[in-house]
Amino acid sequence: MQTVLVTGSAGFIGYHLCKSLLADGLRVVGLDALTDYYDVSLKQARHAMLEDAHFTPVIGRVEAPGLVLDLFAKHRPDCVVHLAAQAGVRHSIDNPRSYLESNIAGTFEILEAARAHPPKHMLLASTSSAYGANTQMPYRETQKADLQMSFYAATKKAGESMAHSYAHLFDLPVTMFRFFTVYGPWGRPDMALFKFTRAVFEGKPIDVYNHGDMRRDFTYIDDLVHAIRLLMQVVPQRPQDGIVPAGDSLSPVAPHRIVNIGNSNAVQLSEFIAAIEEATGLSATRNLMPMQPGDVPATWADADLLKTLTGYRPRTDVRQGVANFVAWYRDYYGT
């Protein structure tokens, strides 16, 4: 039986991934520090939902020296999916140190543990924010991406580079995901869908940044987990003679590849808000605000590489995905 180590297992994406792995009978070790960045009880509830004979929850910080190394030594994971991170663009402006610790020191500990006990494949979460100030849309993995606009994005880009050096030096196969605004049931309270839905139910106005002129490539959680599961099977190989197929982001010198996971569809914020109004049956009062520092007006994924590698493309329509979220929200919070 395969063992998968998932960090950030009590987080939004980690929870859904673990659930999918356990449903297929895999053994899962889930590490999470249950940080108080948002409602800890939501994280505890997610972990409680994962209770299973094949699930080993571990509460601890990924950057705690020796902790991850011990987990690798004890469980010898075949595959590692590193999702634990301090997330959020806006929070990184006032709290950069937590990003340095969780995202940079944390990723370093994961890489060191993998060097000591190499898994067959390591998959690490990066973000569409890594594209930063790029204006060429849709974003392709082969584009240069050196102009990060927030410290959050900078720590994630640093993680990509750190993983590349370990992949090169120690022949560790690494896939880096660049996720595009993931949403769905059990979602994050700091993200727009959750905040807007809560405000609409409470009859409060919603803050709409850049006066509503925002576009996001929204990725539904089930599609994302499906893509991760497929990519787990696509283990990057160091290319022969440094020759990389056109359109592939594979490094010429390491078994390291970056893959966008997005819907390839930049949805206007107004359309997204309309989907919330439709699902809740309530109308939103919009509080138009200027652009937030560190944020970007649009994201849009080119998902051709994902399709080439796995044969799969995320498809869920935003109205359906938002309706599923609102149904979960009503049920969970008894609204």
Residues acting as catalytic residues: 152
Region near ligand NAD per CB under 6 A, out of 77-85, 167-175, 229-237, 240-248: 77-85
- Asked if residue 12 binds ligand NAD (CB under 6 A), the reply is yes
Query: What dihedral do alpha carbons 313, 319, 322, 326 form, nearest 10°?
Result: -150
> Scanning residues 124 to 153, which ones bind ligand NAD (CB under 6 A)?
125, 127
**Residue closer to ligand NAD, measured from CB, 244 or 317:** 317
- Asked if residue 321 binds ligand NAD (CB under 6 A), the reply is no
Given candidates 35, 148, 150, 316, which one binds ligand NAD under the rule CB under 6 A?
35
- Asked if residue 89 binds ligand NAD (CB under 6 A), the reply is no
Closest-approach residue to ligand NAD (CB): 11
User: Cβ 241 to ligand NAD, closest distance in Å?
Assistant: 33
> Scanning residues 224 to 263, which ones bind ligand NAD (CB under 6 A)?
none
Binding-site size for ligand NAD (CB under 6 A) equals 27
- Asked if residue 296 binds ligand NAD (CB under 6 A), the reply is no
Q: Which two tokens stand for residue 304?
A: 């051709």
**Residue closer to ligand NAD, measured from CB, 127 or 310:** 127
The size of the chain, in residues, is 335
Give the list of residues 6+ apart from residue 215 with CB closer than 8 angstroms, or none: 266, 267, 268, 269, 297, 298, 299, 300
User: Cβ 331 to ligand NAD, closest distance in Å?
Assistant: 19
User: Cβ 86 to ligand NAD, closest distance in Å?
Assistant: 5
Given candidates 5, 27, 28, 32, which one binds ligand NAD under the rule CB under 6 A?
32
Burial label for 277, CB within 10 Å (0-12, 13-18, 19+), is: middle
> Scanning residues 184 to 223, which ones bind ligand NAD (CB under 6 A)?
188
Residue 144: how many CB atoms within 10 A of its CB?
8
- Asked if residue 63 binds ligand NAD (CB under 6 A), the reply is yes
- Asked if residue 33 binds ligand NAD (CB under 6 A), the reply is yes
E strands present in the chain: 3-7, 27-32, 55-59, 79-82, 121-127, 174-179, 182-183, 206-208, 215-217, 219-220, 256-261, 266-268, 286-288
Of 89, 172, 104, 177, which is closest to residue 141 (Cα–Cα)?
177
Give the list of residues 6+ apart from residue 320 with CB closer than 8 angstroms, or none: 220
Region near ligand NAD per CB under 6 A, out of 82-90, 194-202, 252-260, 297-305: 82-90
- Asked if residue 13 binds ligand NAD (CB under 6 A), the reply is yes
How does DSSP classify residue 214? -
Of 174, 211, 177, which is closest to residue 286 (Cα–Cα)?
211
**Residue closer to ligand NAD, measured from CB, 157 or 188:** 188
- Partners of 174 in the β-ladder: 122, 256
Residue 291: how many CB atoms within 10 A of its CB?
13
How does DSSP classify residue 240? G
Region near ligand NAD per CB under 6 A, out of 137-145, 181-189, 265-273, 286-294: 181-189
Region near ligand NAD per CB under 6 A, out of 7-15, 142-150, 231-239, 295-303: 7-15
Give the list of residues 6+ apart from residue 332 with CB closer than 8 angstroms, or none: 186
> Scanning residues 110 to 129, which ones bind ligand NAD (CB under 6 A)?
125, 127
How far is it, in rounded angstroms, from Cα 268 to Cα 151? 25
- Asked if residue 100 binds ligand NAD (CB under 6 A), the reply is no
The dihedral region occupied by 79, where left means phi > 0, alpha psi between -120 and 50, and beta the remainder, is beta
- Chain residues in the site for ligand NAD (CB under 6 A): 8, 10-14, 32-35, 43, 61-63, 83-87, 102, 106, 125, 127, 179, 181-182, 188
